Structures are given as C-alpha cells and as structure tokens.
Amino acid sequence: MVLTRSKKRVAKSQTPPLKRAEKPQSLALKRKAEKPQALASKKGGAKSQKTPPLKKQKKEAVVEEDPSEDDEEEVSDDAAASTDVESDDGEEEGSNGLGSSGFFSDDDGEENDDDGEELLGDDFLEGSGDEEEHSDSGSGSDSDSDEGDIEKESKLIDEEEAKEEEDAKAELLDFNKEAGDDAFRLPTEEELEEEARGPPDLPLLQSRIKEIVRALSNFSVLRPNGASRKDCVEQLKSDIASYYGYNSFLIGALFELFPPVELMELIEAFEKQRPTSIRTNTLKTRRRDLADVLLNRGVNLDPLSKWSKVGLVVYDSQVPIGATPEYLSGFYMLQGASSFLPVMALAPQENERIVDVAAAPGGKTTYVAALMKNTGLIFANEMKVPRLKSLTANLHRMGVTNTIVCNYDGRELPKVLGEKSVDRVLLDAPCSGTGVISKDESVKVSKSLEEIKKFAHLQKQLLLAAIDMVDATSKTGGFIVYSTCSLMVAENEAVIDYALKKRSVQLVKTGLDFGQDGFVRFREHRFHPSLNKTKRFYPHVHNMDGFFVAKLKKMSNMKQASEDDDEALGTVDEADVPSDDDEAEAMEEMEKPKKTKESKEGLAKSKESKKGKKSKSKKGEDPPKIKKQRKNRTEMRMEISQAREEKRKAMREKSKEKQ
C-alpha cells in the first residue's frame, strides 16, 4: 500500500494531516482505527454507526492537507479517538481473523483515482497493512522456514570452511615439497671433499643442520630427492660433530637417546651455562635472612624453585659470589641445582648412620648433615687424596660436626665399616660426565665406548658394596640412593637392573615430583618394569645439569649370587682406570694359590679313587674343603687391602716430602 497526501485544505475539527515528525505514531493509530471499520462494513453489525464519520475523516484527511500550525495540537485528539475504536473492535478482528489488506487496497485505489496525489517515499518504507497481516497470520510458518534456512546456510558455511582448510593444507604441502626441492639437497661426495680441504664453513653447516632437522621432522613430505633417512642422519651427525666439536661416538650415543629436534635442543642447552645456584646452610641461617643480606650486597637472586626450600638462584652479582663474608662464614654453599636431588631422595633422618661413598667436595655431605641437624654419624669417604682438602675445608666452614672423613676405595668399605652396619648410603658414582658438558667441554671428544664400559663396571661394583653396607632390618632406613651426572643408559638403568638381579633389593619412588621416568626398554635391552620409578633430568627440559637418580630399598641381608660377584670384582679390578702395580701383584698372588689348590684337589681325588672309599665318606669330607676355600678367599682379600693401604701410605709420604 502507498499512502499519499493532497494539497487541499480541511477544517480544523477534522483529522489533521500526517507530518514527517509524527509519522510513525499517527500512521499506526490510523491503521488500527481503519481495521474495525472494514470489519463493520462487511458484517453490518451494530457498531457500524461509528464507522462513517471515521471513514469520512479518513478520506478528508488523506485528500486535503492543512499546513497551519494548529494541526499539531489536534493530532493528540485523533490519536485518542482511534485508540477508543481499537479497544471496542479488537475482539471482532481476532474472532474473524480477517486482515486489512483488502480494505486498504480498495480505498487506496479510490483515493488515487479521485485525487491527484503525490507518493510518499518515507511512508512506503514503513510498510503496508498487507505486510503486517502476512506477518501476523503466517508467523509460525515463516519462523520454521527461517530456522530451516539458517540451518542450511550454516551447514553450507561449515562445508565451505572445511574445504578451504583442506585446500590450504594441500597447498602448504605442495609448497613445502617445492621449497624442499629447491632450497635443500644433500651435498655430493665432491662437495664434501671440497669442504674437507678448507676450513669449516660455519654458516653453511648451520643452515644445513637446520634443513636436515626440518626434513627429518616430517620425512615423508620433506624428503630430499634421492636421499634416504639413513643418509640424512649420517650427514646430520657429521655436521653436528664438525660444528659443535663432538666426536662420532658421543653424537651416535645421543642420537640413540633423542629424536633430531630434541637432540638439537639438548646440544644448544649444552652450549649455555646453567644458572648459578647456592644452597642455604640451615645449621647457621635461614634462606630469607640470607637473601636479604645478599640483596643488600648487590646480588640479584630469587628462590630456586618450589621443590627446594633452601636453594637460591643467582642471576648477577656486583661482588664475587664465592668470596663474600657470608660464604666464608659458611652461610651458604655454591652447589648445582641437580646436586640437591640425590640428598632429597635419600631423605636422611636424625640419629642415623649414613655413608657418602664419593663425598668430595662436600656439597651433598654438608646437605645431609644439615638435614640431620648435626646428629647421628656420617662417613664421608673419598678415594682421591687431592680432593680430601676441599672436603675437609667445606665441612669445617659449614659447621658440620657429625662427620668422619675417610680415604678408601668404595668397594672396600664393607670390609672397613662392616656389612649391615649403616642405615642409608648415598652413592654419587663416578661417571663419564655426559650430562655436564656445559661445565667440562672436554667430554665432547674424550669419551669412547671402552671408557663407558669401564665406568659401568666400576659403578656396578660400587653399588653392590653400598647395598652390602646397609642393614635391611633398620627401623628408619635400609635405603640406597644411586645417582650419576651421565645420560648414558649403560651407566644408569643397566647398573640398577644389574643390582636388582644380584641383591634382594627393589626400587621405590624417589620422592621427586618432577623429572622424566627412566627407561624400561632401550633399543634391544629390556629392563625391570620398576625402573620407571627412577628419574632423569635434562638441561633443555629442567634447566639443570643432566642427572639420573634411583632409590633402592634393601629387603633382605642375604646375597643371591656371591660367586658371580667375585668374578665380576676381578673383571672390574682389571678394568679400573687407576691401574696400580700393587693391584697387579695382588692378582698374581690370588692366582698362585688357586693353582696349588687345583693340584692338591687333583691328588686327593686320585688317592680316593685308588682307595675306593664310599660316597658317604666323600660327602663328609666335602664341607671342610669349602670352608678352607672360604678362608683362603678372605685371606687373599685381606692381603690385597693391606697391599693397597701400604701403597697409599707410601704415596702420602712422598707427597709430604715434596711439600
């Protein structure tokens, strides 16, 4: 419907013309007033008497227009009248369900024919009565159709987005293939020969390492033309070795432990120094007080982490952190964060007997003494004489009074201190140091497979000796903590697995909430399932030195296989790194009695066979022979220990004479 307006005048008593400012209200009221008129005209009801004046007013209002200023005052009266009509006829409209579209279409046609009227664009935008009737009568069907349309549109949008994502992925893969083919390829043999003739081109090596690592991360897509995975891995090993200065053995061993991407993170972490950390000596001060004092001296520090209550990490310092009055007074100890872990796993209790097999320079020993509050007894053993000075100095500086320093081979401690004589043992075993390359870069080129095997043999025997010293019936203890600063499986999981087979011990949880679990299987090796209770720490993951920690609980004091252990002892003595002449002589002395025993036993057997004695007498004679063999073995061991002690005394005397 289109509403029009005329230019003729009309009396003030009639309905005023519509104005643009009041258009929405007046138009709506007029429409509501006209609907009852249409109903009344068709039905001819009783209320038809009111319709003629209203219709007349409507026609005259539409036909003529009064531009006078008084029209605005009469609009309110007309609105009131229209509302009255609406209230009277609202029920008839609802009952009949008839719309106003037909009424408006006829009247509008008559008005357009009778009067030459101008179209109102603004009124047209407001809509007609037909639209209102259609929206009222078909609101349910329209809403259902609208919801169905929205669902269809949303499904179409989702399908289009999924297609776009698939196309983007396919395009990215194609781009990666093209970029990989264009930007990277493995060097030929001729190019490698040319590179070998001159000095290493570090930018070229670095870019090639990145490209190979990228290709290996998604080899099925980024595979270089004509290259296998083995070729890429071998080229990456050689490039890393030449760029970072590693030998081929160590790079190969690390490749077996980590994938290429993680390996590069580890190697980059080895090139950076770990944060400097200090441990508060709780025997003399508290961490808060120490932090306040050091902050006043210009030391920038923070608490180490949530897992440590005594550690502080030092970022920078205006004074030497190892020469402050607090350091000299023994308020703190310079100690790596990874060295806290074995002592925390050991969890020493007050009034216990504890052995630290490899104690120098004393960081772990002083930490144990602080946890024990200077009660009980600690045996701090160190095999190397030059390291005893730093051990004793730190013990005195930190105010430790419950510790005895001794100088023995760790494998002989069960003879010196006695078996089943202590509650707990801490064994931070000597190792290859592959986890602390950031401190000692010589490890990159100095380690080999033979040396790793030697360390593994030594660690196995030290661990067996540590287990023998512990009393399984201890009320508070019976624990052994084994730790190394190595990443090699042969020095960690393999050693623990060996101890589980040789002694009646079992692994327990270390009590450390962080760290990665140890290997249960590694390449062709299969270890005890409980090895997942051990913990591994890596520089690129935990921002500390590479470390391995395991905690054992001794279940029984009985040995499972003593003869195998004796044979292993002999192999380790031969493979020990500090080979001494006295040890070789002692080994010869051990072999001589064995030969004499064998000859005597052979003569005895021949005599018995000639005499033809009964089997009962033979069974009666066998036990004394075994007793004699045991006595001879103990005598030989005592002789070996005496020879070593004599040599050490001679070395000490020589060192004193030189000084």
pLDDT tens across 543-580, in order?
A: 999 999 999 999 998 876 544 444 444 434 333 443 33
Q: Give me the mean pLDDT over the 458-482 stretch.
A: 94
Backbone angles phi, psi at 285, to 5 degrees: -155, 180
Per residue in 260-272, is it b (16+ CB within 10 Å) or e — as a string?
Answer: beebbebbebbee
- Distance, CA of 427 to CA of 594 (rounded, Å): 33
490 belongs to a structural domain: yes
The 10s digit of each residue's pLDDT in 607-645 is 455 444 444 444 444 444 444 444 566 777 778 888 888
Q: Are residues 482 and 369 in the same domain?
A: yes
Write the pLDDT tens digit of every residue in 508-543. Answer: 999 999 999 999 999 999 999 999 999 999 999 999
362 marked among binding-site residues? yes
Give residue-wise pLDDT tens across range 374-407: 999 999 999 999 999 999 999 999 999 999 999 9
What average pLDDT does the chain have? 75
Residue 366: is its pLDDT beyond 70? Answer: yes
* Same domain flag for 284 and 389: no
Q: Are residues 347 and 308 in the same domain?
A: no
Find the domain containing 227 and state its range: 189-271
> Among 182-196, 326-340, 343-357, which is the least confidently predicted range?
182-196
485 counts as catalytic:
yes
Joined together, the tokens standing for residue 436 give 């602390």
CA distance 500 to 506: 6
Strand order in the sheet with 311-317: 299-303, 311-317, 276-280, 332-334
Does residue 458 lie within any of the structural domains? yes
Q: Which of 232, 406, 431, 485 is catalytic?
A: 485
- The pLDDT score that the predictor gives to residue 378 is 97
Using CA atoms, how far apart are residues 653 and 445, in angstroms rounded to an integer?
36
Q: Is 456 annotated to bind ligand?
A: no
Is residue 619 situated within a structural domain? no
- Region of residue 362 (phi > 0: left; psi between -120 and 50: alpha; otherwise: beta): left
Do residues 534 and 470 both lie within one domain?
yes
Same domain, 330 and 341: no
Is residue 431 domain-resident? yes
Per-state percent for the chain, helix, strand, coil, to nearest 5:
60, 10, 30
- How would you class 197 by CB atoms within 10 Å of its CB: exposed for 0-12, middle for 13-18, buried for 19 or more? exposed
Is 537 contained in some domain? yes
Stretch among 363-377, 409-423, 578-592 having the lowest mean pLDDT: 578-592
Q: Consult the annotation and say whether 44 binds a ligand.
A: no
Q: How many Cα atoms occupy the beta-carbon half-sphere of 300 within 13 Å?
A: 5
Query: 384 labelled as ligand-binding?
Result: no
pLDDT of residue 142: 55
Q: What is the CATH number of the domain that holds 296?
A: 3.30.70.1170
Task: Give the model's pLDDT for residue 606.
Answer: 52
Whether residue 458 is found in the same domain as residue 358: yes
Residue 31 pLDDT level (bands cut at 50, 70, 90): low
Q: Are residues 225 and 372 in the same domain?
A: no
Is the pLDDT assigned to residue 248 strictly greater than 70?
yes
Statement to judge: residues 503 and 554 lie in one domain? yes
CA distance 470 to 354: 9
Residues 352 and 282 in one domain: no
- Left (φ > 0), alpha (ψ -120 to 50) or beta: where does 511 sit? left
Paired sense of beta strands 299-303 and 118-119, if any: unpaired
Last residue of a domain, one of 224, 249, 271: 271
Task: Annotate 272-316 with DSSP letters as a single string.
Answer: SPPPEEEEE-TTT--HHHHHHHHHHTTEEEEE--TT-SSEEEEEE
Query: Number of folded domains in the chain?
Result: 3
pLDDT tens per residue across span 116-175 = 444 444 444 444 444 444 444 444 555 556 667 888 888 888 888 888 888 887 776 665
| Residue 226, Ramachandran bin (φ over 0: left; ψ between -120 and 50: alpha; else beta) | left
Tell whether residue 409 is among the known ligand binding residues.
Answer: yes
The beta-strand segments (E) located in 147-228 are none
Q: Are residues 378 and 317 in the same domain?
A: no
Tokens at 389, concatenated: 């000075």
| 380 in a labelled binding site | no
428 among annotated binding-site residues? yes
Q: Determine if residue 350 is labeled as part of a ligand binding site.
A: no
Mean pLDDT value of segment 343-364: 95
Tokens 């595979």 locate to: 223
Same domain, 364 and 429: yes
Long-range contacts formed by 231-237: CB under 8 A, 24+ apart: 231/186, 232/186, 233/260, 235/186, 235/187, 235/208, 236/209, 236/212, 236/260
Task: Answer whether residue 99 is part of any domain.
Answer: no
Q: Look at residue 397 and tell me if it is in a domain.
A: yes
**Amino acid 153: pLDDT:** 84
Please report, for the domain that includes residue 502, its CATH number. Answer: 3.40.50.150
Q: Pick the last residue of a domain from 543, 559, 575.
A: 559
Indicate the residue among 253, 271, 289 that finishes a domain: 271
Assigned domain for 487 exists: yes
Burial class (CB in 10 A: 0-12, 13-18, 19+), 136: exposed
Asked whether residue 447 is marked as a ligand-binding residue, the answer is no
Cβ within 8 Å of residue 373, ≥6 positions away: 283, 350
From the CA atom positions of the chain, what is the Rg in Å? 48
- Residue 605, pLDDT above cutoff 60: no
- Both 288 and 359 in one domain: the answer is no
Q: What is the pLDDT of residue 586?
A: 42
CB 650 within 8 A of CB 596: no
* Full-model pTM: 0.61
pLDDT of residue 190: 85
